[in-house]
Amino acid sequence: MDSTSIRFTWLYAKSELRLKYRYTALGVLWNLLEPLLYLAILSVVFSYVNKMRLSDFAVFLFSGLVPWRYFEKVVSTCTDAFVQGDWLLKRSPASPLSLPLARWIVASVEFGFSFAAVALVLAFMKEHWTVHLLVLPLAVLPWSVAALGAGLCCATLFTFFRDIRPVVQLGLMFAFFTAPILFNPDLFPPESMQARLLVWHPLTHLAALFQKPIHAERWPDAMDWALSSGTAVAALTLGSLSVLWARTRLYFYL
Amino acid sequence: MTGSVFELKNVRVTFRTNAIEARSLKYSLASWLGRKPRTSYAALSGVTMSVAPGERLGVIGRNGAGKSTLLRVLARVIVPQHGHVAVDTARRIVPLLDLGVGFHPDLSGAENCVLAGSLLGLSPARITARLDDIVRFAGIDGFIHEPVKHYSSGMYARLAFALAFDVEPDVLLIDEVFGVGDEFFMDKCRARVQALSSGGVTSVFVSHNLDFLQAECNRLVWLDRGRLVMDGEPAVVAGNYRERRGVFED
């Protein structure tokens, strides 16, 4: 990407953020309200299903759900980034990366708001604040990189195979419901098949980067860092290579 | 590159036909099994040419001749499947392939100037500093802070032109965009283009307006069915084009 494309990406992301709330009565307040309401509904319903104390479950859910929603938003909004961006890609030599990158920036800013808003409320629900919370800014990185990589892959695939959208949505749904985000992995005995399968679920280790410092009040394991960082780097490499391959072909498929 | 702004060697750009049907699983399977041939057409075929600094080149041809595809190749929007394209990227190339590229309908005129201006290589500070001049040239005072979706098509075109002409380009690529806006504004735009051309700006115009091209260009190329069939003095090329009614027979 050249400096013109980098500047355009940043300005485009700023415009998208500005426009998102321009015609709403509550404006940017939605950035705070929406994650709070979402978390409140899920906490009430699933604390009952999981037979956990509401405040304890809300803390557990928050720790996995907020980064997951960020990941999901990046992937789903990036999927049609090239196809919706034909107004730009067919008329200017701007880098195609600008479009998914702008969506990634928008989702990242919204994630920051969500995290701050929900953390503020959970400050009253969480009993102990420990030093482990200091690792959270670092824990965002693998999520963010993995989301961008997956988003780039989906954007490329969707340009050439429009059938991919429902597959992406089903894939996200499958990943979410099979990952220990809504349920606590300690539900399963360590030797059970479910527990052994969960070890290989990439989201288990990504979620652990948030769940362990926030809910379990301990540091993420070396295995969590290694597998989540490996997943993120692999996703970004694959995503970047797919865009590199598609760069000269996009025009003919938009 | 031997001092040229653009150098094209044996450039070929093809598009697949049956663009809708070809996306279906049925068609893909039939094509894979060899029951349906993969068909395509060449929008540009074997085009070899170069554009020197300061040249004012006009591109003529009937509809579907490949003029816009050629301009998109020069603007690096299309990367040809075959052949070689060299572009002097040290120069500021401003492609006016369409009016209002980078404009978002919900953003105001001023916000769009910043966003679309960034695509033309201008910083937000530069655009903000020049905004009064852009508004004055466009003649849309009082509307610059309104969303452009509320603009008339003429106002939209005026703002897009005003922004593009404020860039101070080294190379200007214009694709048949002089047909919009009122006569007086278009006169203003033509005068600006003439001033840029006489100032040494390299220009490539795609147009059906032969009189305009003959007046503004010092070289014309004629494209027919994707092939470059004539390249030379504007009067000679335009004369041949008129005489043969735009269809070149070998």
**Is A210 an interface residue toward B (CB < 8 Å)?**
no
Whether A114 shows a pLDDT value over 90: the answer reads: no
pLDDT at B3: 82
Amino acid, res. B22: A
Chain B hits for A22, CB-CB cut-off 8 Å, are 106
Q: Mutation test of the interface with chain B: which of A92, A99, A161, choosing the one with the most B Cβ atoms within 10 A?
A: A92
pLDDT at B80: 95
Distance from CA of A9 to the nearest CA of B (A): 9
Choose the closest CB to A91 out of B101, B107, B123. Answer: B101
If you average pLDDT over every residue of chain A, what do you get?
89
B-contacting residues of A 13-52, CB under 8 Å?
Answer: 15, 18-19, 22
Number of neighbours of residue B33 by Cβ within 10 angstroms: 8
Whether A32 shows a pLDDT value over 90: the answer reads: no
pLDDT at A6: 93
- pLDDT per residue of chain B (250 residues) written in tens, 0 to 9: 568 999 999 999 998 877 777 777 777 778 778 777 777 889 999 999 999 999 999 999 999 899 999 999 999 999 999 999 999 988 888 888 887 788 888 899 999 999 999 988 889 999 999 999 999 888 888 899 999 999 988 888 889 888 888 888 899 998 876 666 677 887 888 888 888 888 889 999 998 888 888 888 999 999 999 999 999 999 999 999 988 877 777 6
SS3 content of chain B, % helix, strand, coil (to 5): 40, 25, 40
- For residues A166 and A188, is the Cβ–Cβ distance under 8 A? no
Whether A52 shows a pLDDT value over 80: the answer reads: no
CB contact (8 A) between residue B121 and residue A87: no
The predicted complex's ipTM stands at 0.83
Alpha-carbon gap, residue A100 to A45, rounded angstroms: 34
Of residues B152, B143, B159, B141, the one with CA closest to residue B103: B159
A119-128, A174-183, A205-214, B110-119: which has the minimum mean pLDDT? A119-128
**Is B106 an interface residue toward A (CB < 8 Å)?**
yes
pLDDT at B44: 95
Helices B153-165 & B183-198, crossing angle to 10 degrees?
10
Whether A7 shows a pLDDT value over 70: the answer reads: yes
End-to-end CA distance of chain B: 31
Enumerate domains of chain B plus CATH numbers. 54-243 (3.40.50.300)
pLDDT at A35: 80
pTM of the shown model: 0.87
Q: Mutation test of the interface with chain A: which of B68, B69, B74, B77, choosing the one with the most A Cβ atoms within 10 A?
A: B77
DSSP string over chain A: --HHHHHHHHHHHHHHHHHHTTT-SSTTHHHHHHHHHHHHHHHHHHHHHTT--HHHHHHHHHHHHHHHHHHHHHHHHHHTHHHHTHHHHTTS---TTHHHHHHHHHHHHHHHHHHHHHHHHHHHH-S---GGGGGHHHHHHHHHHHHHHHHHHHHHHHHH-TTHHHHHHHHHHHHHHHSTTSS-GGGS-TTSHHHHHHHT-HHHHHHHHHHIIIII-SPPPHHHHHHHHHHHHHHHHHHHHHHHHHTTTGGGG-
Alpha-carbon gap, residue A34 to A29, rounded angstroms: 8
Number of neighbours of residue A73 by Cβ within 10 angstroms: 20
Distance from CA of B240 to the nearest CA of A (A): 31
- Name the residue ranges covered by the structural domains of chain A: 3-253
pLDDT at B181: 65
- For residues A207 and A72, is the Cβ–Cβ distance under 8 A? no
A135-144, A179-188, A205-214, B75-84: which has the minimum mean pLDDT? A179-188
Which range in A16-20, A91-95, B73-77 is most confidently predicted, on average pLDDT? Answer: B73-77
Read off the DSSP letter of residue B169: -
Amino acid, res. A135: V
Read off the DSSP letter of residue B23: G
